[in-house]
């Protein structure tokens, strides 16, 4: 109400976004709908408080309440993930990974004459994430990383990972990324890390909700450090947590203190206490049976969506999904991930273009497309609805194929012609009657599923 009165411009934009989230199918694998309780905590007066430091050791006064908020978040995280140590202050996943680097590695060139310390993580174009040492990220400028790949069928190339580990003796072996549709084999990472004396850091950002909901195994018995964002399948607000396991403390009893120092004052200033309160609320929600049911349903939905897409002739990287993510290789449909991305967005299905292992296309116009089932599961959709969703996706892709068939310069070397024809494709989409009809169907389907 206040926003509507004080700033109609912003209020209108938020209302538009609210409508988009209701009338469309949010299928970006990293997105979800938080509960109204989480939103209340995030929008609370905690927004006003500066609290640099940690509970009982702050730099400002007035921390009686916020100290308890942070302690509640910590104790819930420890209980839920079964870890002895957690830091709940990272602003998000990318800073959290940088903070792990800072805690465990010496930056390149920090000490003259010493060889750089290396990390081993999943290659970006094979589903890795920027924040684990990729060149385009500051983590790749301050630290040195080598990358392992996925096989064509979406599994970690274990032999390559093993050989790279033996050759480079990395300080960290990192698991996790944004493209992986199987159940992580924690023991394999752990064994290799142990053999070469590396820390095993598990980035479980995508699957944290599946782990605490009992749908996936936990890396905690195997990893030294576990990092997760709080806003994907875990269904909390924007933020991240860095956890140290018993195994981690055994390897280095000071690991928790090193992480704390790296977060603050190493990389951050005042923690976002409102987000930390939201994390605490989300962690409480994640303790209950309904959450476990939701987590298992995410996987069932992903499987059902995969099977239905395969029935429509789609090829999936990794085959039928075992988590929340469906990774489509569009090469047999003669379109790029970009075509699917813009076409499905036009009908209200929100996924994203994604490179596939050994993609011959550029990252901007890759051959793959990625979908996730967490957000639609939060709306109550089940296997039956996933079949319907697969039908919408197939319809959209078929329309894209038809209207791009004569645009043969798309994807060719002549950049000018390529861009020209992409524009023609988009213009055709806007005027296409089948697209408008499909959009109507998607809207009326989506409206039946209330958002939390
Ligand atoms: C595996 C993984 N790690 C880290 C991040 C970074 O998180 P954020 O976007 O919160 O910085 C992401 C985000 O997609 C991710 O998927």
Q: Which has the minimum average pLDDT: 74-78, 111-115, 182-186, 224-228?
A: 111-115
Res. 121: pLDDT tops 90: yes
Active-site residue (options: 139, 181, 228, 229)? 229
Of the pLDDT bands very low, low, confident and very high (cuts 50, 70, 90), residue 126 is: very high
Q: What integer pLDDT is reported at residue 114 of this predicted model?
A: 81
The C-alpha atoms of residue 26 and residue 231 are separated, in whole angstroms, by 14
Task: Tell me phi and psi for residue 434, to 5 degrees.
Answer: -65, -35
pLDDT tens string 242-253: 999 999 999 999
The rounded mean pLDDT for the chain is 96
CA dihedral 313, 445, 182, 234 (to 10 degrees): 170
- What dotted CATH number matches 41-285? 3.40.640.10
pLDDT tens string 415-430: 999 999 999 999 999 9
Two tokens at 320?
Answer: 């039928």
Of the pLDDT bands very low, low, confident and very high (cuts 50, 70, 90), residue 71 is: very high
For residues 306-325, give the mean pLDDT.
98
pLDDT tens string 152-172: 889 999 999 999 999 999 999
Of the pLDDT bands very low, low, confident and very high (cuts 50, 70, 90), residue 7 is: very high
Residue 418's alpha-carbon distances to 332, 335, 407, 421, 432, in angstroms, are: 20, 14, 9, 5, 21
Active-site residue (options: 23, 31, 50, 162)? 50
* Residue located via tokens 């301050």: 142
> For residues 278-307, b (16+ Cβ closer than 10 Å) or e, as one string?
bbbbbbbbbeeeebeebbbbbbebbbbbbb
Q: How many CB atoms lie within 10 A of CB 403?
A: 20
Active-site residue (options: 78, 188, 238, 441)? 238
Alpha carbon nearest to ligand 1 atom 16, residue: 178
List beta partners, residue 173.
120, 200
Res. 382: pLDDT tops 80: yes
Q: What integer pLDDT is reported at residue 107 of this predicted model?
A: 84
Catalytic: 238? Answer: yes
Active-site residue (options: 171, 232, 333, 439)? 232
The C-alpha atoms of residue 129 and residue 137 are separated, in whole angstroms, by 10
Q: Are 210 and 323 in contact (CB under 8 A)?
A: yes
CA of 430 from ligand 1 middle (Å) equals 32
The continuous run of DSSP H or E covering 338 comes out as helix 337-346
Res. 112: pLDDT tops 80: no
pLDDT tens string 12-49: 999 999 999 999 999 999 999 999 999 999 999 999 99
Q: Name the E strands within 292-396.
A: 315-316, 325-329, 349-350, 352-354, 368-372
Alpha carbon nearest to ligand 1 atom 13, residue: 93
For residues 290-304, give the mean pLDDT.
98
Q: What integer pLDDT is reported at residue 221 of this predicted model?
A: 98
**Which residue among 129, 207, 219 is best mutated to probe the pocket of ligand 1, counting the most ligand atoms within 8 A of its Cβ?**
129
Active-site residue (options: 67, 99, 123, 203)? 203
- Nearest ligand 1 atom to alpha carbon 238: 10
Res. 225: pLDDT tops 90: yes
Two tokens at 75?
Answer: 């104790």
Alpha carbon nearest to ligand 1 atom 4, residue: 93
Could you tell me where in the chain the CATH 3.40.640.10 domains are found? 41-285
CA of 121 from ligand 1 middle (Å) equals 14
For residues 284-305, give the mean pLDDT.
97
Res. 110: pLDDT tops 80: no
Residue 309's alpha-carbon distances to 53, 154, 299, in angstroms, are: 50, 17, 15
Could you tell me where in the chain the CATH 3.90.1150.10 domains are found? 289-446
Task: Tell me phi and psi for residue 74, to 5 degrees.
Answer: -60, -50
- Nearest ligand 1 atom to alpha carbon 239: 10
pLDDT tens string 349-363: 999 999 999 999 988
Catalytic: 441? Answer: no
Question: In a 10 Å sphere around its CB, with 0-12 CB exposed, 13-18 middle and 19+ buried, how is residue 166 labelled?
Answer: exposed
Which residue in 34, 23, 113 sits closest to 294, CA to CA? 34
Which CATH architecture does the domain made up of 289-446 adopt? Alpha-Beta Complex (3.90)
- Nearest ligand 1 atom to alpha carbon 176: 1
**Which residue among 137, 139, 178 is best mutated to probe the pocket of ligand 1, counting the most ligand atoms within 8 A of its Cβ?**
178
For residues 268-296, give the mean pLDDT.
98
The C-alpha atoms of residue 176 and residue 198 are separated, in whole angstroms, by 16
CA of 354 from ligand 1 middle (Å) equals 15
**In angstroms, how far is CA 199 from the centroid of its own chain?**
22
The C-alpha atoms of residue 57 and residue 53 are separated, in whole angstroms, by 6
- Nearest ligand 1 atom to alpha carbon 131: 4
Q: What integer pLDDT is reported at residue 74 of this predicted model?
A: 98
CA of 209 from ligand 1 middle (Å) equals 14
Catalytic: 52? Answer: yes
The C-alpha atoms of residue 324 and residue 252 are separated, in whole angstroms, by 34
Q: What integer pLDDT is reported at residue 113 of this predicted model?
A: 77
């Amino acid at each position: 109400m206040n926003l509507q009165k004080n700033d109609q411009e912003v209020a209108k934009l938020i209302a538009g976004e609210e409508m988009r989230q209701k009338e469309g199918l949010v299928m970006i694998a990293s997105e979800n709908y938080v509960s109204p309780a989480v939103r209340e905590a995030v929008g609370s007066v905690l927004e006003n408080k500066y609290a640099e430091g940690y509970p009982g050791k702050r730099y400002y006064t007035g921390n009686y309440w916020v100290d308890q908020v942070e302690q509640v978040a910590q104790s819930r995280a420890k209980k839920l993930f079964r870890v002895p140590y957690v830091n709940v202050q990272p602003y998000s996943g990318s800073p959290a990974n940088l903070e792990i680097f800072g805690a465990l590695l010496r930056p390149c060139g920090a000490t003259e004459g010493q060889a750089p310390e290396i990390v081993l993580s999943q290659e970006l174009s094979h589903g890795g994430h920027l924040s684990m040492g990729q060149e385009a990220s500051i983590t790749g400028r301050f630290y040195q990383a080598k990358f392992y790949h996925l096989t064509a069928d979406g599994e970690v190339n274990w032999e390559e990972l093993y050989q790279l580990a033996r050759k480079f003796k990395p300080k960290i072996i990192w698991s996790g990324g944004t493209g992986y549709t199987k159940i992580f084999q924690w023991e394999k990472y752990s064994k290799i890390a142990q053999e070469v004396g590396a820390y095993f850091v598990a980035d479980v950002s995508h699957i944290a909700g599946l782990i605490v909901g009992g749908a996936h195994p936990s890396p905690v018995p195997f990893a030294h450090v576990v990092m997760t964002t709080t806003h994907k399948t875990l269904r909390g607000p924007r933020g991240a947590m860095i956890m140290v396991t018993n195994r981690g403390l055994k390897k280095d009893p000071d690991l928790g203190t090193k992480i704390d120092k790296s977060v603050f004052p190493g990389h951050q200033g005042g923690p976002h206490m409102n987000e930390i309160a939201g994390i605490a609320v989300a962690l409480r929600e994640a303790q209950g049976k309904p959450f476990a049911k939701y987590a298992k349903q995410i996987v069932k939905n992903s499987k059902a969506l995969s099977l239905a897409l395969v029935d429509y002739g789609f090829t999936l990287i990794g085959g039928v999904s075992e988590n929340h993510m469906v990774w489509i290789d569009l090469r047999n449909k003669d379109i790029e991930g970009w075509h699917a991305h813009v076409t499905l967005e036009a009908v209200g299905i929100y996924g994203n273009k994604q490179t596939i292992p050994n993609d011959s296309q550029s990252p901007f116009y890759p051959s793959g497309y990625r979908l996730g089932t967490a957000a639609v599961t939060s709306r109550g959709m089940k296997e039956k609805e996933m079949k319907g969703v697969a039908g919408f996706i197939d319809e959209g892709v078929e329309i894209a194929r038809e209207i791009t068939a004569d645009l043969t310069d798309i994807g060719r070397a002549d950049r000018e012609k390529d861009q020209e024809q992409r524009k023609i494709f988009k213009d055709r989409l806007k005027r296409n009657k089948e697209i408008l009809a499909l959009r109507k169907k998607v809207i009326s389907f989506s409206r039946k599923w209330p958002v939390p």
